[in-house]
Chains A and B, each alone.
Chain A
Amino acid sequence: MSMVPRPFLVRRRVEEMPGCVTLELEPCDGGAAPFAPGQFTMLYVPAVGEIAVSISGDPTQTDCLVQTIRAVGPVSRAVCAKAEGERIGVRGPLGRGWPVEAALGKHLVIVAGGVGLAPVRPVLLWALANRERLSGLSLVYGTRSPDQVLFASELLGWSSNDALRVAVSVDRAEDGWAGHVGVVTDLIPGVLDSPTETVAMVCGPEIMMRFAAQALDAEGVPAGSIHLSMERNMKCGIGWCGHCQLGPHLLCRDGPVLAYPEVRDLMAVWEL
């Protein structure tokens, strides 16, 4: 696996909400950029640095990579500032993604929080394209407030799609919001028709994932059918440096997606 970034061109830039940008990246060499849902890349801005960013695009679209980034630090700010026509370095796709085969014949419940909707968007698009191979499909999404809903217009479209059940929760809302206000876990029991025949994929802040996994577990979803996208400080992205170690796992190589039983006890160890 190469440590040398591959040059990509920013083909399209969309400001999703203040401080959060989606970039459509096209390989400069004209080659393909295939990936599996749940994988990530290392995005490199020369003289600034490199960060791990999950892929948020449609896995059937292999001529480009779509990545959604929130500007939170120097590197992510530099990535977000890239304009259409500028170049960026990309390593990857990297890591182990969502176990989509495990969802076949089952009710796939996707639970996302905040910008954690970006890493689950590829598996959601995969599920919509393969809907007849699933017994059910639900998206439970929680975020801070109505103005912080990621992919808002697309979410509206998903809400009116009979193939998909969508439940959205915000932590607080002002006048005009008619949806749910509360914690995202409030909505989990309402989408579970047959817990033992459910596969859950969860992505968001770690505390939210912990409570979501506990709620799914309490409702009877088998722990091994709950999958979480974990996040640590990824540096090399290929399991060499150990920066993203979580107990016995190197998240960049063994994850970022891991089954709940693999991480349940580790999430309670705050030194990790």
Chain B
Amino acid sequence: MADGKMKTMADILAGHPLFAGLAPQITDLLGGCAGNVHFPAGHYLFKEDDRADTFYLLRAGDVALEQRMPGRGRLTVQTLHAGQVAGASWILPPYRWRFDARAVDDVRATGIDAACLRAKCDADPVIGYQVLQRFLPIVAERLQSTRLRLIDLYAPPSEVGRAL
């Protein structure tokens, strides 16, 4: 760093769009649940039905959320990029991942211990509310994105109605 100071985990969390703007005492507290990780291209951050123990704040690289279908291989349902979050199923029971998350290229991320964060949220509802306020827009955005794709915007008119 230019000022010679080592970046703390709290600094890293505060620099990610998910937690940017949170009070320093909260990012300090959350920092106790976090650690930096690296996934080479092709490695999995998590797999479907695994316990949702750790979710990731992506700092570099792309992640594909996938489902496997017999005979069709991997189907990518969404691509996530730096600045986004991989994993939301850690918030609610049964705390298991719904998709595979594969590193498309080299991924650098901050992993958050979900059980640790849940415990801090349970112990202090103010922190819990702030964390949920940060996650709810992500969930809402993904729901809207899914709904838009359900419309099948680019379908030929012959598949959806009249045509000349």
- Structural contact, A171 and B149, CB atoms closer than 8 A: yes
Report the contact-size class of chain A (Cβ under 8 Å from the partner): 35 or more
Residue pair A178, B104 in contact (C-beta under 8 Å): yes
Which chain B positions have C-beta within 8 A of A186?
Answer: 145
A76-B163, A113-B153, A183-B148 as given contacts; A174 in contact with B158, CB under 8 Å: no
B78: interface (CB < 8 Å): yes
CB of A208 within 8 Å of the partner chain: yes
| Distance between B99 CB and nearest chain A CB, rounded to angstroms | 12
CB–CB B74/A205 < 8 A: no
B4 at the interface (CB under 8 A from A): no
Q: CB of A143 within 8 A of chain B?
A: yes
Q: Are A175 and B74 in contact (CB under 8 A)?
A: yes
Chain B contacts with A in 121-164, Cβ cutoff 8 A:
145, 148-149, 151-158, 162-164
Where chain A touches its partner, the secondary structure class is mixed
Q: Flag whether B76 is at the interface (Cβ < 8 A).
A: yes
- The smallest C-beta distance from A102 to any residue of chain B, in angstroms, reads 27
B94 at the interface (CB under 8 A from A): no
Distance, CA A233 to CA B77, complexed state (A): 34
Interchain CB contact under 8 A, B154 and A171: yes
1/0 contact string of A153-174 vs chain B (CB within 8 Å): 0000000000000000001111
Closest A residue by C-beta to B158: A72
| Shortest Cβ gap from A257 to chain B (Å) | 20
Most A Cβ at <10 Å: residue of B64, B76, B149, B158 = B76
Count B interface residues, CB 8 Å. 26
A144-B76 in contact (CB<8A)? no
A-B contact count (CB 8 A): 79
List of A residues within 8 angstroms of B151 by Cβ: 207
CB of B164 within 8 A of CB of A51, answer yes
- Interface pair B145/A144, CB less than 8 Å apart: no
Complex CA–CA separation, A1 to B151 (angstroms): 39
Could you tell me if B154 and A148 are in contact, using CB atoms closer than 8 angstroms?
A: yes
| Any B CB within 8 A of the CB of A128 | no
A169–B130 Cα distance when bound, in Å, is: 32
Complex Cα gap A173–B67 (Å)? 11
Chain A residues contacting B154 (CB-CB under 8 Å) are 113-115, 142-144, 148, 171, 204-205, 208
Cβ of A76: which chain B residues have Cβ within 8 Å of it?
Answer: 163-164
Residues of B within 8 A of A205 (CB): 153-154
Query: Which A residues are CB-close (under 8 A) to B145?
Result: 182-183, 186
Lowest 4 A-B CB distances belong to which pairs?
Answer: A73-B163, A114-B154, A72-B163, A175-B73
| Interface CB pairs A-B, < 8 A, 5 | A73-B157, A74-B164, A75-B164, A114-B154, A142-B154
Beyond A143-B154, A171-B149, 14 additional contacts (C-beta under 8 Å) are: A70-B156, A72-B164, A73-B163, A76-B164, A114-B154, A142-B154, A148-B154, A174-B73, A174-B74, A174-B75, A175-B72, A180-B81, A181-B77, A208-B153
